[in-house]
Structure 1
């Protein structure tokens, strides 16, 4: 019997002046553990003068994780953070009761050709931490736990698994794990995984129960303890998941909350321009239409 409960293919979405592949939320699977939103950016070739420009926008009730494979993004937020995100680094911003940030092509790259490729992820906060103070954490590539086993390279981007722990300050039991294989290998992770688990294929392919799965597919397991599959040569996959929350989550725009009331308060606060601004940024993005409101059930 197959251990694959659901196969989710990337769906194109426009996030302003940039197209992404949306993985979560999905119509029949809104969350995997605490992971509530995943976008695959690119790979996109941007010409000179063609740039990523996501103006200041607010978040509540979540942490954002930006992980780049290629390219650079300048992150600025209302805490005064201004840092360039480079491939292999982890950008972890916790919104809590509210934060505002912008994401743009760095000034030194705006008039040259460049490539942008990576993952942008939202992790919902536990109910008791929804109103925590916002914070920001940045980890360099060499700070992340890495190891090899039977020719497979592992990098723990966030969370805790297999006796390893990332320095990224997560707020519930979770993992975000990269696997890279240069040769065909059988992978058995069932003893290390916990909670709900998703597997995203970035490049290459995997085989499970006689079926081959290709890039841009997200597989959701029935039982994390039964995770066994074959990675073909030159394959990169990401495991993500963890313990699900007992409460449902609501999503409206960039807001995540355990109640609609929290969403409404955040909307009113943003419209009244009462969020702390991003230093040096003056753009204001109005609230989107109500039909972007989603109920995200675990």
Structure 2
């Protein structure tokens, strides 16, 4: 049985400095998919100059951030002393835990001739028991992202978070969740089975995509029902197709989100702000040049 679509949306503009941003989650239909509480899509753009100042240091608590850069490079620095730089196809994960200040710097890929910037940032809500843990950071380069060729050479699947068959991401999980990038060649298709009670959504990077016989446009966000079932992804004959498929088990703890903090009650939000203004998150001393 094929899964049914619950809704689709194109999100809202939420530009950040020179970056054109489409905010896909939360949206007018839902605030969460599994543990994913936030999704910003960095719309493809040409960047001619290198920005050395970052996007602006800011705090987080209670979540993990995940940046996946399709094209370009992203440099990370934070108040726990972590630094890292990823290039096209790479991802970086930061557990904010009990509080951190970080900054990210989006630029074109200095390793290639491409001037494009294109990617995603997700926020993954931590279970209540993990929100008080110490911050952590992991950089994953493109060649470290688990990938497999799909049957009949129809395309490939990358595992950014979670697992698929024999593939396992090096990014930690604190609940049952997944984040895949699926690429299909023109005219090809791929069938994936989803378990019961999993919350599942897709983001279409390109046109030329059909999901369970329904055609969607690029930059469209689609959520499915929670019943077990199949998702059939087809690339039309006009060209290849790319989608992000993500989700996980229902987040059952209470959720209170305000600004950069996602906690389980209002008292914890107050504490998050109080600790930030008291300087308990530390400060970014200086980004290491890498």
Q: TM-score range by the shorter chain?
A: 0.7 to 0.9
Instruction: Write the deviation string for residues 31-88 of structure 1: whole angstroms up to 9, x where unpaired.
Output: 0000000000121222336677312111001111011011112111112122212111
Does residue 257 of structure 2 align to residue 251 of structure 1?
Answer: yes
Greater Cα offset, 263-272 or 225-234: 225-234
Shift of 1:108: 10
Q: Find the aligned partners of 2:11 and 2:91 in 1 and give their Cα distance.
A: 23
Q: Find the aligned partners of 1:192 and 1:152 in 2 and give their Cα distance.
A: 23
Q: Find the aligned partners of 1:269 and 1:60 in 2 and give their Cα distance.
A: 10
Q: Find the aligned partners of 1:270 and 1:74 in 2 and give their Cα distance.
A: 23
Q: SS where residue 273 of structure 1 aligns? A: coil
Maintained 8 Å contact 1:184/1:230: no
Partner of 1:213: 216
Q: SS where residue 162 of structure 2 aligns? A: strand
Maintained 8 Å contact 1:145/1:156: yes
Shift of 1:223: 3.4
Q: Find the aligned partners of 2:143 and 2:156 in 1 and give their Cα distance.
A: 14
Q: Find the aligned partners of 1:201 and 1:224 in 2 and give their Cα distance.
A: 22
Partner of 2:274: 268
Maintained 8 Å contact 2:146/2:158: yes
What's the TM-score once normalised by structure 1's chain length? 0.85
Match of 1:223 among 222, 226, 229: 226
Shift of 1:278: 1.0
What's the TM-score once normalised by structure 2's chain length? 0.88
Partner of 2:242: 236
Maintained 8 Å contact 1:203/1:237: yes
Greater Cα offset, 254-263 or 139-148: 139-148
The alignment of Structure 1 onto Structure 2 pairs a total of residues equal to: 279
Partner of 1:19: 20
Partner of 2:150: 149
Pairing of 1:102-117 with structure 2 (within 5 A): 102-105=103-106, 114-117=115-118
Does residue 89 of structure 2 align to residue 88 of structure 1?
Answer: yes
Q: Find the aligned partners of 1:193 and 1:161 in 2 and give their Cα distance.
A: 16
Partner of 1:54: 55
Greater Cα offset, 257-266 or 97-106: 97-106
Partner of 2:69: 68
Unaligned runs of 5+ in 2: none
Q: SS where residue 228 of structure 2 aligns? A: helix
Shift of 1:225: 2.6
Greater Cα offset, 29-38 or 84-93: 84-93
RMSD: 2.5
Partner of 1:296: none
Q: Find the aligned partners of 2:109 and 2:44 in 1 and give their Cα distance.
A: 20
Partner of 1:169: 172
Q: Find the aligned partners of 1:19 and 1:38 in 2 and give their Cα distance.
A: 14
Q: SS where residue 59 of structure 2 aligns? A: strand
Partner of 2:7: 6
Q: Find the aligned partners of 1:92 and 1:138 in 2 and give their Cα distance.
A: 7
